Amino acid sequence: MTEASPPTRLPDLNPVEAAELLERGEAVLLDVREPQEWAAGHAPQAEHLPLGQVTPAAVPQAQPVIAICRSGNRSGKAADTLAAAGVRVHNLTGGMKAWAQAGLPVVTDDGKPGAVA
């Protein structure tokens, strides 16, 4: 047997845990939803990169990444892809629906209140 490399798929986070990491500047939030979903509303500090464009080269890697989508499914796929390439990454369980339900901000690009599409 060969020795396994250190895990890069970090534990899944709930919205409150993710928000705390983001507030401390200890992670990057990566929204992997489609452009129309992003336009309807997203977390203020998120960076947008649709799932089909997620590659390790396209993702900031200085800090752990927190992947988020609408429900947690697509972001889980993004997290698996990135972790397989050595990126330190969490998945946000429940996605933007859980983020909004936790009372965390959802905004549009112009900073106005947004909605989860």
**What CATH number is associated with residue 41?**
3.40.250.10
Q: What is the CA radius of gyration of the chain?
A: 14
Q: What percent of the chain has pLDDT above 70?
A: 94
Mean pLDDT score across all residues of the chain? 94
Q: Is 6 part of any domain?
A: no
Q: Is 110 part of any domain?
A: no
CB 86 within 8 A of CB 93: no
Other CB atoms within 10 Å distance of the CB of residue 67 = 33
**Which domain does 26 fall in, by range?**
15-101
Q: Is 64 part of any domain?
A: yes
| Residue 61 vs residues 5, 39, 41, 56: alpha-carbon distances, Å | 18, 25, 25, 8
Q: Is 9 part of any domain?
A: no
When pLDDT is averaged across residues 81-94 and rounded to a whole number, the result is 96
Q: Is 111 part of any domain?
A: no
Q: Is 93 part of any domain?
A: yes
In the residue annotation, 69 being an active-site residue is answered as yes
Identified catalytic residue from 19, 30, 46, 69? 69
On the CB side of 48, CA atoms within 13 Å amount to 16
Q: Give the per-residue pLDDT at 8.
A: 86
Q: What's the pLDDT tens digit per position in 24-64?
A: 999 999 999 999 999 999 999 999 999 999 999 999 999 99
